[in-house]
Amino acid sequence: MSFGEIIIILVVAILVLGPDKLPEAIVQIAKILKALKKNIDDAKSSIEKEIRINDLKEEAKKYKDEFSSTNQNIRKKLSFEEFDDLKKDILEKTKVDLTFDSRENSSSNNLSGQNLTPNEKPKLTSLDEKMEKQDV
Q: Could you list the pLDDT tens digit for every one of the 136 residues in the chain? A: 788 888 888 888 888 888 788 888 889 989 999 999 999 999 999 999 999 999 999 999 999 998 888 877 776 666 667 777 778 888 887 765 555 554 544 444 444 445 555 555 455 555 556 556 665 5
- pTM score: 0.39
Measured CA to CA, the distance from residue 46 to residue 39 in angstroms comes to 11
What DSSP line would sit under 5-50, residue for residue?
HHHHHHHHHHHHHHHHHHHHHHHHHHHHHHHHHHHHHHHHHHHHHH
Give which of 30, 14, 34 is closest to 22, Cα–Cα: 14
What are the CB-based long-range contacts (under 8 Å, 24+) for 33-41? none
Please give the pLDDT value at position 105.
47
